[in-house]
Structure 1
Amino acid sequence: MTQTLSDLPELGQWRSFEELTRLQDAQLGHLLTWAERSPFYRRHLAGRAAPRTRADFAGLPLTSKQDLRDAYPFGLLAVPRQRLATYHESSGTAGRPTASYYTEEDWTDLAERYARKWVGIGPDDVFLVRTPYALMITGHLAHRAARLRGATVVPGDNRSLAMPYSRVVRVLHDLAVTLTWSMPTETLIWAAAARLAGHDPGADFPALRALFVGGEPLTPARRARISQLWGVPVVEEYGSTETGSLAGECQFGRLHFWSDRAIPEVYRPEDGTVVPEGSGQLVVTPLYREAMPLVRYNLEDAVELSYRDCDCGWNLPTIRVLGRSGFGYPVGDKRIAQHELETLVFELPAAHQVMFWRAKATPAALRVEIEVAPEFREEATAALTAAVRSRLGVEAEVRGLAPGTLVPHAALTVSQDVVKPRSLFGPDEDWDKALLYY
């Protein structure tokens, strides 16, 4: 199959959730045909009649992360290997990594989905990609989408020693970067590094138009703080290596699931049921994935999915992503999730300049540490202690740390010495680096 942009649904092509469902159903049969070409799904769906209705589809078994691991490396391959364009693996944060592969035609869908940014990506943009370019898909995805829209890409891999934070700040400033792609935490680290370099993040980067972020849960409070620091919109993106982009934000701040390209469902671990919307773990069926079709794949991310109208007019469900941290840890008789505590931290006054924190849940209390300037330390720790007690209903031990404790200043200012391998050295050179380059 040769898939082009004209073969894929576009925003605005449907006018209601009912039309969206019919659009999904029209592609679902093709997806299931592709799936049955893979060894895994020939076994997984054996003896089951081809679904003819949405109710039949809801009766198909879920696909788990363990299924993907057990099928490594090519048990889910549904096309000849000669058609593959790229191979990827997930980060493995929840266990052994899972394998994924895409054809060039699959990439047409992947890139266009990511490029659906309300801010817009165009030829006048300089786009800094600050996520991994290794086996994970994230850096490659943003790079491909930016080039699809004609932007200039700066490949600032955040796992490369050749791109320390001091260079990130220099590139942002000197190249007049307009758009960036990173985890939310990265943008806070850039702000700290920029200040150490003598820059004001909100004033000294006038070309910057927006910060695209993803890869970790983001609360409204932290988003607001990042936007205030840099003076630009923070635009959220949600996806995975196994699926590519799954959701993007509209101009009204809602994260919409790309349901014209994938069917979302919600698995409820407490009773084992799968429902069209509500709270639970996200189950997804990409509709235009040919190399490695996935049918009712449980991503295990905690989400809230709902179908409601939005002023953007996209007629797409909204999704709130809590991540696996959404399950939380017990403290006393409560269960505390990261997003709950993050909200309280970033609701502290901006003047306190609290950007970095960590916490440990114990049976008796939450132990929280925040970086805060000495002149605000007493006020900030008292306010956060009171907020945890009143809002979360647990005891808290809050400690203020000097800036540079959790995120060392040396890490923000160092210029990494990156060398190529060599074997011959002069009399005053360090030959302990022979054959090693870092």
Structure 2
Amino acid sequence: MPSTISDLPRLGDWTSFEELAALQAARLPRTLEAAARSPFYRDPLSGGPPPLDALPITTKRDLRQAYPFGLLGVERSRLATYHESSGTAGQPTASYYTDDDWIDLAERFARKWIPIGPDDMFLVRTPYALMITGHLAHRAARMHGATVVPGDNRSLAMPYSRVIRVLHDLDVTLTWSMPAETLIWAAAARLAGLDPGSDFPALRALYVGGEPVTAARRARISRIWGVPVIEEYGSTETGSLAGECPAGHLHFWSDRAIPEIYRPDGTVVAEGSGQLVVTPLYREAMPLLRYNLEDAVELTYRDCECGWHLPTIRVLGRAGAGHPVGRARITQNDLETLVFTLPDRLGVLFWRARAAHGELVVEIEVDEAHRAEAVGALTAAIRSGPGVDAVVRALAPGTLVPHATLTVNQDILKPRTLFGPDEDWDKAILYY
């Protein structure tokens, strides 16, 4: 397995999709050899390495049943980190990596067309707990010499007021977060008397991932902050799987993982629409063969002006997403596109919707001066787009994202057990 960056394929090492396929074919035997050391794959591979398409699909249910170390392919003493997914199934999905695995993980994440470098101040605003996301960005940034600001978004020690102060005072140049975070930052900055588009001149780019983002929302975020928004796609089980090229297309890292498409009829094809199935090619701690992420995607092989010769992927979200309204099926992507194509001057950033009993209700935060126009425009757009009637309600700014949440400056407390007569001893032991 790789021990240095130079052992890994790099962009430009192949000049066609045919050469890319040859690179995958050359690596696959070592991937199968590593998988054969895992208890989970030992029996399927006991007769020797079969063709990849002869192996069964590995499911999330398989990973849950193998918890915690049923897919371990190395001695446990060689593990560098242990992680669990952020999924909501109620059962943990474990992932683990060696130091050599981490070289591949970090190098893939750092494949950004606005690159990470030694002069960067990099705010990592994703969880640092069992999910891989914060650790991945941190490792990639340090690999390339950047200074990391570890702004975990699950920590009471990093409220939004502190995020804005750090972004401004430290001259942060790059950030890594979910797309929704960047809109919340914009609202918090404005409440602090700052203009996102002009008062953060050091900012070069916003790296985003962790949730699907439509072109409309990404364009709005870019206009608000005045910098490119660069999309990333991956998972705790796999690390980075795709990144954006200079032409604005999301490319799957097929030199590091083989993608397949699982279709609703149960067949598996090389490209098209369906659920994404991946076989990472550089994994030793936890080899995965034909792992179904259950994300709905579109994968196509076509030439791109970037010259990377990698398939293009469009991430649509978790398979099965969406709700019926009348004769239509409404997805979050459908509504997000309509909300963020409203004119910027209306200031609509935060919204929510509910599809129930054949009715679609959408609520948007909007200033009183623009409420009638925003409600009318969005109602008409939903009627002409998805083709359903919707009840659109205007809410006062601060309803969905409370202003107090954006301005509070929380204390960082430490455990105490002795209190004075006028102190709140409800904070003993379980401090917060």
Tell me the TM-score range normalised by the shorter chain. Answer: over 0.9
- Amino acid corresponding to residue 71 of structure 1 in structure 2: A
CA distance, structure 2, for counterparts of residue 67 and residue 349 of structure 1: 46
Once the two structures are TM-superposed, the CA of residue 327 in structure 1 deviates from its matched residue by: 2.9
| Contact kept in structure 1, 2:257 and 2:280, CA below 8 Å | yes
The one-letter code matched in structure 1 to 2:176 is: W
Pick which of 361-370 and 236-245 moved more. Answer: 361-370
- The structural deviation recorded for 1:345 is 0.3
In the aligned structure 1, how far is the partner of 2:88 from the partner of 2:376?
A: 34
C-alpha contact (below 8 Å) 1:377/1:400 kept by paired residues: yes
Equivalent-residue separation in structure 1 for 2:252 and 2:103 (angstroms): 18
Question: 1:143 pairs with 130, 138, 146, which one?
Answer: 138
Q: Residue 392 of structure 1 aligns to a residue in which SS? A: coil
1:388 equivalent among 374, 382, 385:
382
Q: Distance in 2 between matches of 1:95 and 1:22?
A: 40
- Indicate whether 1:345 and 2:339 are aligned: yes
**SS of the counterpart of 1:304?**
strand
SS at match of 2:206: strand
TM superposition shift of 1:337: 1.1
Report the alpha carbon displacement of residue 364 of structure 1 after superposing the two structures with TM: 2.5
| 1:224 aligns to 2:219 (yes or no) | yes
1:378 and 2:372 are equivalent in the alignment: yes
Q: Give the letter for the 1:128 counterpart.
A: L
Range that drifts further, 425-434 or 287-296: 425-434
Q: Please, which of 106, 111, 117 is the counterpart of residue 112 of structure 2?
A: 117
**Contact map agreement 1:69 1:97 (CA 8 A) in 2:** yes
TM-score by length of 2: 0.98
- Alignment length (residue pairs): 432
Which residues in structure 2 correspond to 1:261-280 (within 5 Å)?
261-269=256-264, 271-280=265-274
| Mean Cα deviation higher: 325-334 or 379-388 | 325-334
Partner Cα distance (2:93, 2:16) in 1: 35
Distance, in Å, in 1 between the alignment partners of 2:2 and 2:176 is 29
**Which residue pairs with 1:210 in the alignment?**
205
- State the Cα distance separating 1:432 from its structure 2 match: 1.9
Q: Tell me, yes or no, if the aligned pair for 2:67 and 2:92 is still in contact at 8 Å.
A: no
Matched, 1:9 2:12: no
Q: Which residue of 2 aligns with 1:25?
A: 25
Distance 2:402 2:68 in 1: 40
SS at structure 2 position matched to 1:188 = helix
Do 1:166 and 1:412's aligned partners in 2 also have CA atoms closer than 8 Å?
A: yes
Q: State the 1:261 CA deviation.
A: 0.2
d(CA) in 2 for partners of 1:117, 1:366: 39
**TM-score normalised over the length of structure 1:** 0.97
Asked whether the 8 Å contact 1:326–1:338 carries over to 2, the reply is no
Deviations 1:134-180 (A, max 9, x none): 00000000000000000000000000000000000000000000000
Q: Distance in 2 between matches of 1:326 and 1:3?
A: 40
d(CA) in 2 for partners of 1:48, 1:401 = 63
Q: Deviations over 1:38-86 (max 9, x none)?
A: 111113x1565423xxxx2112110000000000011000000010000
CA distance in structure 2 between the partners assigned to 1:416 and 1:326 by the alignment? 39
Task: Supply the distance in 2 between the matched residues of 1:437 and 1:199 (Cα, whole angstroms).
Answer: 33
Find out whether 1:97 has 2:92 as its counterpart. yes
Specify the alignment match of 2:103 in structure 1. Answer: 108
Identity of aligned residues (%): 76
Unaligned runs of 5+ in 1: none
Match of 2:406 among 401, 412, 417: 412
Are the structure 2 counterparts of residues 325 and 186 from structure 1 closer, same or farther at C-alpha, using a change threshold of 3 Å?
Answer: farther
Return the letter of the residue paired with 1:427.
P
Question: Counterparts of 1:164 and 1:348 in 2: how far apart (Å)?
Answer: 29
1:326 CA drift (Å)? 6.4
Residues 411-431 of structure 1: per-residue CA shift (max 9 Å, x gap): 000011221001122333222
